[in-house]
Amino acid sequence: MLSTTSARLVAVKIKSANKNIFRALLSLASANLLIRVMGLLNQVVVTAKFGQDQHMDAYYVASLIPTTLAPMLASALEASVIPVYSRLRTKGTREQASKLFSTLLNLLIVLSIGITILLLFFKTELMTLLAPGTRASTLLIAQDLTPFIFPVLALMTLNSFMECLLNAEGKFGWPAYAGMLTPLTTATVVLVGGNSFGVLMLCIGTLLGQLLQLGVIIYRAHKSQIVYRPVLNLKLPELKPIMSAAWPALFGGLISMASPFVDTIFSSYQSAGTIAALNNALKLNGVPTGVLFAAVGRAALPYLANQAAIKDMRAFKGTLRLYLWIVGIATLALTIFMTFGARLIVSVIFEHGHFTAKDANTTSWILVGLSIGLLPTAIGFIVSRAFSALGKTRVLMGVSIFSVFANAAFDAYFGRIWGGFGIAFGTSLYYFCTMIILLVTLRMMIGNLNLLTPPKELLDMLWKVGMGQYYIKWVNWKESGMRDFGLTHAFRKKVLQIVFALAVFAAGAAGAVQNGTLTVRIAFGSLVVFALLRYQYLLVLAWACINVFIGSNLPLFNGNNLLSGLTLPTLLLLFYVPTKEAFQRLPALPVWLFYFIWILLGMGISPIALQEFMTIWTTQLDFLAVSVLVVLVIDSRKKLLGFVDAMIAPAIFIALYGLYGFATQQHGVVDPTTGYFRISSIFYDTPPTLGLYLSVLIPITIYRIFTMRSFLKICAGIAVLLLLMVALGLTFNRGTLLAVAIGLVVTVLFLPSSKMRGIAFGAGTAIVGLVFLGTTLANIPILSRFANSDISSLNGRTYLWQALIDHFDPAQILGYGLKSSDVLLTQLQVGFGGGVIATAAHNIYLEAMFEHGIIGLILMLFGFLAFGWCILKKYFTGKSFDQKLLLAIAFGTLVSIVIQGYESNDIWNQGVGIYFFILMALPFARYWDNEKPSSTTLESEVQEQVDPVNEENALTEQEELATV
C-alpha cells in the first residue's frame, strides 16, 4: 500500500508544489502562447505563399518523420530522465549530475545522427509508405526534400533533451521562449526565398531555426552551471533506471507515432491538398494544445514525480485533480469556440494569397473534427504524465498499441464516409477511448480519484471573486432540493438506466428500419459477445469447437458473423487480462506480435482493398490473442483436458466427413497423374489444408491418449487416432505425410522416459502397419504419389517460387504488401502443359519475403525459433511428467509445421493455423504452476500407490495399459 502523510503536511506540500507549478506554468504557458502565435504567423506566410497544393502535401509528407519522431524521443526522455536527474541533484553531487548529463547527451547525439543517416538511406521506401495514395510527382518532390528536412530530427531531439534538463533545474523561461526562433526564422526565409526556391525554403528555414534555438539553450545551460564533459560512461548506475523507464515510453511513443502516420496514409487516398489541410488544421488545434495541457503537463511532472517518490498519494491525487479541472474547463470552452467558429477562424488566419475559399472550407471541416476531441486529448495528456511520474510507463505502451489499432479502424471507416472530416473525427474518437482507458487504469492503481469533486483551490478562488455563495446554493439544491422533488441518487440511477434502455431501443428501431436482419444479428450477437467476455473459458472452447468450420463448405457456419463474434471479445480481452504475464510465460508471443505489427505497416502498399487487408490481418492477430487467453485461462487439469477434447471432437467429424466424401467421390479432387480421389472434407477442394489440420490434431490426440487411465477410454482414443491417420493418408499429400512422420519421430525421441519411448516406437509401428494393412485391403495405394514424375518440381511449385524470386526486389523494405504474391501469380498465370499451376505461393518463407520484405521473413523465422527455444528450455527445466509429455508433442508438431511450410501456406488459414498456436501455448498455461512433480514412468506411478485398498485396482490398471 502507498502511504500518506498527515493532513497538515499534505496541505503545506500541496501549497508549495502548486506555487512552484504555477510559477513554471506561467513561464511555459506564456512561452507556448508566443511560440504558437509565431507558428501561426509562420503558417499564414507559408499558406499565402504556397497555398494548399501537391507541393505542400509533399513537404508535410517529408517532414512527418522528423517532426513526429523527435517529440516521441523527447517524451521518452522526459519520462525517464527528469525523475532520475532530479533525485541525483537532490541526493548526489554536481559532478555526478554533470557526468550523467554528458553521457546522456553524447549517447543522444550518436543515436540521432545514426537514425538520420538510416532515414536518408531509405527515403524512397519511407515516402512511398507514408503516402501510398498520392501521385508519383508528389512523392518525387517529397524525396527531394528529405536531405534538407531529415537533419531537423537530431536538432529537435537535442533541444528537447536540453530543455528537459533545464526544467529539472527549475529553469523554464529561456528554454521555452527559445522555441520562437524556429517559426520566426522559417517565416523570414520563406519571405526572402520562397518565390525562387519554393517549399525548399521551408526546410532550410526550419533547419536554421532549430540551430539558433539550440545555441540559445546551450548558452542558458552554461549560465545554469550545467557542465558538459567529453565522457561516455556506460557504467553509471543511473543509466539502468533511465533505460528501464525509457524503453516502454520509447516503444509506446513509437506505437503512438503511428497515429499521425495512419492519418497521413488515409489522407493520401483523398483529394489533393487533404494532407496539407490536415496539417493546417493541426497547427490551429495545436495552439490550445501547447498553451494549456502541454504546458501544465510539463510543469506538473517534476512535482508529481516528487510526490510519487515519497509515496504521498493524497498530495499526488490533489495536484492531479486540480490541474485536470483547470485544463478541462479551459479546454471545454475552447472546444465549443473552435467547433462552432472553425470556418471563421480558418478564413481570418489562412484565407490569403494562394489559399482559396475551397481550401478554407476543407480545412475548417477537418478542424471541426479535431476540435471535438480536444477535451479527451487534454485529459489523456495530463493523466499520461501521472503515469510517467509513477514510473508506470508500460501502461502507456499498452494504451498506445490500442490507440494505433483504434485510429486505423476509425480512419478507415469514417474516412471512407466523410473524407478528410471523417479522418479527423476518427482521431477524436480514439482519444475518447484512450482517455477512458487511462482514467480507469489509474483509478485501479492508486484508488478513487474523486475527479467529480471540485478541488479546494478552485473553491477558494470562487470565494475570492465573490461567487462562493452560488456554489453553496447549488450544493444545497443538489443535496436537499433534489431530494424534495424525489430526485434521490437511487431515482437518478433508475432514470439513467431507463434513458440508456430507451437509447438502445431507439438505436434498434432505427436499425430495424434500415436493415432488420442485421439489427437482429447485432442484438443477439451482442449478448453472445458479453457472455464470452464474462466467461473466458467458454470463449476458448468456442474457438476450439467452432473455428475450424468457419469459412468451410458447410453453409451453417458461413454468413452468420461467427468469426466477428469470436474476434471482438478476444481482442478486447487483450486489454483486460494480464497480457504481460502471458508474454513472460511464453516469450515467443512478443516476437509474433512484432511480426504482425510489421505486416500492419504494409497496409498502404498492399494491392488488396483496405477492408480486406484489415479483415485478414485481424484474423491473423487472433492467433496471438487466442494463445494469450489459452495461457491465462487454462488453470486446472479439468479445463486442460476439456479444452483438448473440444479440439478433438470437430476433428472426428471432419475425418468421418472426409471418409464419406471418399466413398461417394465428393468433397475432394481427382489427382490428374494417378487418378486417385484425394479427400478434402470441409476444406473445399484443397486436400493439403485438411492434411495440415490433421497434422496438428493427430499429436494432440496422442497426448490425450497418454492422459487416459481406463482401458476402454484408451481403446476409444486409439480408434480416433486410427481414424485421423486414415483420413490424413487419403489426402495423398506427400509433404504432409513425410512431415508428420518426421514430427512423430522427433516427439518420440523427446518423450520423458525410455520406457515410454520404447512403447511409442512399438505402438507407432503397429498403428502405421494397421493403417497400411487397411488401405491395402481396400485397394488404396497411399504412397503411390511418391513415385510420380512431378515430384522433382514438387507438383510444379518450384515454377511458382522462381516467378516470385524473379520479381522480388530486396530494396523493398516492407515488401509488396499482404497478398501481393497471390495477386502477382494470378496476373502471371504460371503453368505448363496448357494449365495454370496455382495462384498462391505454397511456401510461407518465400511468401513472407515477397510480401513483407527480408525483415518480415526474419521476424517470422525468429517466431518459429522462439517457439522451439521456449519449448526446449521448459522441457529441460520442467519437473512435471505430463508437461514434458505435452512439450514433446508440441516440439514434434513445430518441426512438422516448419517442414510443411516449404510447400504450403495454409498455416495462415484461420481455420487451421490457430490450432497450431494453441498447441504451442498449452505447455505454458497457468495450470502447470499447480501441477506437482510426478514420476517419469507409468510403472512407478502404480508402484507408489501403496494403499492396500487401491493396490488391486492399480495393478489391474497396469495390466490394462500393458495390454494396450
- Say yes or no to pLDDT of 639 above 70: yes
Only one residue has cell 556506460, namely 234
DSSP for 251-295, please give it.
HHHHHHTHHHHHHHHHHTTSSTTHHHHHHHHHHHHHHHIIIIIIH
Q: How many Cα atoms are found within 13 Å in the side-chain-facing hemisphere of 739?
A: 27
What lies within 8 Å, CB to CB, of 127 at 6+ separation is: 61, 62, 139, 142, 143, 146
Task: Give percent above pLDDT 70 in the chain.
Answer: 75
User: How far apart are the C-alpha atoms of 932 and 880, rounded to whole Å?
Assistant: 6
User: How far apart are the C-alpha atoms of 104 and 158, rounded to whole Å?
Assistant: 10
What pLDDT is recorded for position 381?
79
CB 167 within 8 A of CB 175: yes
Instruction: Give the pTM.
Output: 0.58
- The CA distances from residue 682 to 554, 911, 932, in Å, are 7, 11, 41
7 pLDDT band (50/70/90 cuts)? very low
What pLDDT is recorded for position 394?
66
Range in 434-438, 679-683, 698-702 the model is least confident about: 434-438
What pLDDT is recorded for position 921?
95
What pLDDT is recorded for position 920?
95
User: How far apart are the C-alpha atoms of 71 and 298, rounded to whole Å?
Assistant: 13
Only one residue has cell 438506466, namely 497
What pLDDT is recorded for position 499?
64
What lies within 8 Å, CB to CB, of 321 at 6+ separation is: 449, 450, 451, 453, 455
Best CA proximity match to 127, nearest among 572, 587, 604: 604
Task: Determine which helix (DSSP H) or strand (DSSP E) holds 448, and give its type and residue range.
Answer: none
Mean pLDDT of all residues in 133-155? 86
Only one residue has cell 490541474, namely 323
906 pLDDT band (50/70/90 cuts)? confident
What pLDDT is recorded for position 488?
56
803 pLDDT band (50/70/90 cuts)? confident
User: How far apart are the C-alpha atoms of 628 and 921, rounded to whole Å?
Assistant: 8
Greater model confidence, 44 or 559: 44
- Say yes or no to pLDDT of 155 above 80: yes
What pLDDT is recorded for position 699?
92
* Count, residues in the chain: 964
CB 442 within 8 A of CB 383: yes
What pLDDT is recorded for position 917?
95
- The CA distances from residue 880 to 172, 710, 876, 924, in Å, are 60, 21, 11, 12
DSSP for 481-500, please give it.
IHHHTT--HHHHHHHHHHHH
Highest mean predicted confidence (pLDDT) among 200-209, 301-310, 410-419, 762-771 = 200-209
**Do the bridges between strand 831-832 and strand 835-836 make them parallel or antiparallel, or are there none, so unpaired?**
antiparallel
628 pLDDT band (50/70/90 cuts)? very high
- Say yes or no to pLDDT of 905 above 60: yes
Only one residue has cell 467452432, namely 546
- Say yes or no to pLDDT of 265 above 60: yes
- Say yes or no to pLDDT of 547 above 80: yes
CB 736 within 8 A of CB 725: no
- Say yes or no to pLDDT of 376 above 80: yes
Mean pLDDT of all residues in 914-935? 84
What pLDDT is recorded for position 296?
65
> Which of helix, strand or coil describes residue 935?
coil
CB 908 within 8 A of CB 596: no
629 pLDDT band (50/70/90 cuts)? very high
What pLDDT is recorded for position 541?
93
Highest mean predicted confidence (pLDDT) among 68-72, 471-475, 771-775 = 68-72
pLDDT tens digits, 838-868: 677 788 998 999 898 888 899 999 999 999 9
323 pLDDT band (50/70/90 cuts)? confident
CB 604 within 8 A of CB 266: no
What pLDDT is recorded for position 399?
76
- Residue 836 pairs in a beta bridge with 831
Angle 324-423-200 from CA coordinates, rounded to 5°: 95
| One-letter amino acid of 582 | A
> Which of helix, strand or coil describes residue 831?
strand
User: How far apart are the C-alpha atoms of 585 and 491, rounded to whole Å?
Assistant: 48
What lies within 8 Å, CB to CB, of 807 at 6+ separation is: 824, 850
- Say yes or no to pLDDT of 12 above 90: no
What pLDDT is recorded for position 540?
92
Cα Rg, the chain, nearest whole Å: 32
Range in 163-167, 443-447, 468-472 the model is least confident about: 468-472
> Which of helix, strand or coil describes residue 670?
strand
Task: Determine which helix (DSSP H) or strand (DSSP E) holds 811, and give its type and residue range.
Answer: none
- Say yes or no to pLDDT of 924 above 60: yes
What pLDDT is recorded for position 591?
92
CB 74 within 8 A of CB 161: yes
Mean pLDDT of all residues in 8-18? 46
Q: Buried b / exposed e across 387-420, counting CB within 10 Å, b at 16+?
A: bbbbbbbbbbbbbbbbbbbbbbbbbbebbeeebb
What pLDDT is recorded for position 903?
83
What pLDDT is recorded for position 939?
39
